[in-house]
Structure 1
Amino acid sequence: MTSTDVVVIGGGQAGLAAGYHLRRRGLDFVILDADPAPGGSWQHMWNSLHLFSPAEHSSLPGRLMPAQPGETYPGAGHVVDYLTDYEKRYGLPVRHGTRVIAVRRDAGRLLVETDTGTWRARAVISATGTWSRPFLPAVPGRDVFTGRQLHTVGYRSPAGFAGQRVIVVGGGNSGAQIAADLALDGHIEVTWVTQRPPRILPDDIDGRALFDVATARRRALDSGRRDTGGVASLGDIVAVPPVRAARDAGLLTAKAMFSRLTADGAQWPDGSRAGADAIVWCTGFRPALSHLAPLGLRGRRGHIPTDGTRALGEPRLHLLGYGDWTGPASATLIGVGRPARDAAHEIAQLG
């Protein structure tokens, strides 16, 4: 067993931001990451994915992301390079290829059990994100459909779908971007299906404005003022260049959600049908928190109740980067820095 002040679970953007601030506080820590290489979930994204904001507005604390030549909005590969450099630049103690199995209480400390050994710490920061826990809705007939089914996590590019009929399910950013990616290929018949009419943000709204809106909402709630609605009040989909191109070409018109799947496609409540060779489920994710199950902290919707990043039921545990419930815009590159700083500050005060 190895002892340290803090164990950070997850070596993606949230874990690295935590490491930066823990180092500045002079704390002894280790970052445990299941992936064998740096880059967090960005190394697993689809090929055409780009950030919603320019590089200078997509940075972790202490190090501006350099611009990607020829691109206003950097691609996922550029983000991987940036995170790899960030980890190296600050000499962050990331142990790649280490999977955390469980976190348990032990005589005033927390034990972090991994597939390579056990760590004992004064505090734990869980920063595992959501990518490893894709959500698939319980749609009637899903087990009857004989074509190919994959989630966002399994999509890479239009290659392999040429000449096929593809239904893309989901009205968020991933659904719009993947539908656009497939439709712009020109050799794929795409049906985009959403639970409600999609709301594409104005072309001049990107991640910079969304971060400001999310921050303003959190400040309003914290001060007892009326809920501003945050990002959800503006729309669901950022009009990144591929989405604009598909929209302007008339290739991005959504249909209402089907009622069931059949062996060879989908059926709507009015009896109409569409054939499909493949379905891409862009239906979101859930927080990857199974390693915290022994602590018995889960609340409604699978979330662990928090005050800022600190778990209400376990003051030695902080959650970082899972969404607004662990800090405004904390699931974004630019947004995770502030809650990471706050978590490091609180941990430094622990006895």
Structure 2
Amino acid sequence: MDTTDTRPTTDIDIDTVVIGAGQAGLATGYHLQRRGIPFVILDAATRVGDNWRRQWDSLRLYSPAHVDGLPGLPFPAPRWTFPGKDAVGDYLETYTRTFALPVRLETRVQALDADGEGYVVTTDRGRFTCRNVVVCTGTFGRTGSVPEIAAGLDPAILQLHSSEYRRPSQINDGPVLVVGASHSGTDIAYELAELHPTILAGRDCGEIPPRLGSPVFRVVFPVLLFAWRHVLTRRTPMGRREMDHVRHHGGPMLRVKRRDLLARGVERTTSRVEEVRDGRPVVDGTPREVSTVVWATGFRQVFDWIRLPILGDDGWPREMRGVVADAPGLFFCGLSFQYAFSSMILPGVGRDAAYVADRVAERSRRLGKATPSLPTAA
């Protein structure tokens, strides 16, 4: 049975509202379902998995398929392959159907307000009153961050944020500047350098040395995954340092290595692009003639629709493992470094979701009998 529902919504009372039908929201739904908590998952998309399908065409996962499955359903791909973005979107859709998760699509959340011991979630299809809210918008709930100097570039220069980049055919003829050298920036620069003179500017975020899928990678990956799950956590000094680096400066290069950029002729500079002169971006003190700038400069958190004082000075929610102490009943899942480095990759989502679902269940039991479940769509 397909339980995704795009019918008009009136005011509804439900125990828990999950916002976002990506991997974090679906994994949270899976665990809530098994704990007997009535819930609904809201998403603005027209189809489950569309946030993945909208990524650039050549994007593939950085972790092998055998660890990419969400709780209860292995990823349907050979063990040491790296699924593409469309395969991930299709898997999320299958996951929703397999476990009959109550997803309401084409339902955009506009505001979240406190209401006594619970909350009111206002959408473009009506209001949901609930005891608990789990915000699972993650990366896709953020806005692409572009520096202020972008406004000073010549209008003839095409500008794209990395979230808008799809394929090389989008790019103007001529040289390209990619700003930001985390894994997305390096992947895009490497792809574009096959057809365009390409400059990659930005601090070196480090790299994972083994080639993905290589024999060496197959040997060391279990060690890496253990470290990402159990060593680089918010409870260790090393993990807290890495959390600050990843959240504010980007993660290390994964698929593309420094030697790949060099071999393809990418001009690499670790200086920042902080000036525009005569409509041209200044790189290493020199205005550069480029036809396109791709801003792989990350995202900024946009939670202004959450009308509660739960954000820190850096714009991130004040939470620990997704639990917001300042707002009982409000939780997050899918945040970068929510608990560990692994939180930002598929192998880490299930553990985070299970922890949050346990806290939701504890609160619902403490408050008494849960609200009945929503009817599912036929």
Change (3 A) 1:236 1:327: closer
User: Higher strand fraction: Structure 1 or Structure 2?
Assistant: 1
Secondary structure at the counterpart of residue 138 of structure 2: coil
Output the TM-score relative to the length of structure 1: 0.88
Residue 274 (structure 1) shift:
1.5
Indicate which of 189, 194, 210 corresponds to 2:197: 189
Matches of 1:141 and 1:19, distance apart in 2: 40
Counterpart amino acid of residue 341 in structure 1: A
Secondary structure at the counterpart of residue 342 of structure 2: coil
Residue 226 (structure 1) shift:
4.1
Q: Are the aligned partners of 2:158 and 2:172 in contact in 1 as well (CA < 8 Å)?
A: no
Residue 84 (structure 1) shift:
0.8
Matches of 2:295 and 2:323, distance apart in 1: 33
Q: Are the aligned partners of 2:172 and 2:292 in contact in 1 as well (CA < 8 Å)?
A: no
Q: Which residue of 1 aligns with 2:238?
A: 227
Indicate which of 140, 156, 160 corresponds to 2:170: 160
Q: Which residue of 1 aligns with 2:322?
A: 309
Secondary structure at the counterpart of residue 62 of structure 2: coil
Q: Which residue of 2 aligns with 1:98?
A: 107
Q: Are the aligned partners of 1:177 and 1:243 in contact in 2 as well (CA < 8 Å)?
A: no
Matches of 1:347 and 1:17, distance apart in 2: 14
Q: Which runs of 5+ in 1 are unaligned?
A: none
Indicate which of 212, 215, 237 corresponds to 2:229: 215
Residue 217 (structure 1) shift:
3.1
Indicate which of 345, 362, 368 corresponds to 1:349: 362
Secondary structure at the counterpart of residue 290 of structure 1: coil
Spell out the pairing of 1:1-351 with structure 2 (5 A cutoff).
Answer: 1-67=11-77, 72-140=81-149, 142-146=151-155, 147-161=157-171, 163-184=173-194, 186=195, 188-194=196-202, 196-204=203-211, 210-218=224-232, 221-222=234-235, 226-227=237-238, 229-230=241-242, 236-240=251-255, 246-247=260-261, 249-255=263-269, 256-268=271-283, 270=285, 272-292=286-306, 294-325=307-338, 328-350=341-363, 351=367
**Over residues 185-228 of structure 1, what are the superposed CA-to-partner deviations in whole Å (9 max), with x where a residue is unaligned?**
x3x1211111x235232024677655432322355x53xx5435
Q: Which runs of 5+ in 2 are unaligned?
A: 1-10, 368-378
Residue 54 (structure 1) shift:
1.1
Counterpart amino acid of residue 267 in structure 1: V
Output the TM-score relative to the length of structure 2: 0.82
Matches of 1:291 and 1:96, distance apart in 2: 19
Residue 79 (structure 1) shift:
0.5
Matches of 2:223 and 2:163, distance apart in 1: 27
Q: Are the aligned partners of 1:164 and 1:277 in contact in 2 as well (CA < 8 Å)?
A: yes
Matches of 1:154 and 1:315, distance apart in 2: 36
Change (3 A) 1:86 1:133: same
Matches of 1:59 and 1:343, distance apart in 2: 19
Change (3 A) 1:218 1:306: farther
Secondary structure at the counterpart of residue 312 of structure 1: coil
Q: Report sequence identity in percent.
A: 32
Residue 47 (structure 1) shift:
0.2
Change (3 A) 1:258 1:27: closer
Counterpart amino acid of residue 312 in structure 1: A
Matches of 1:266 and 1:102, distance apart in 2: 38
**Over residues 60-102 of structure 1, what are the superposed CA-to-partner deviations in whole Å (9 max), with x where a residue is unaligned?**
1111111169x82111011111111101111111001100111
Report the number of matched residues. 340
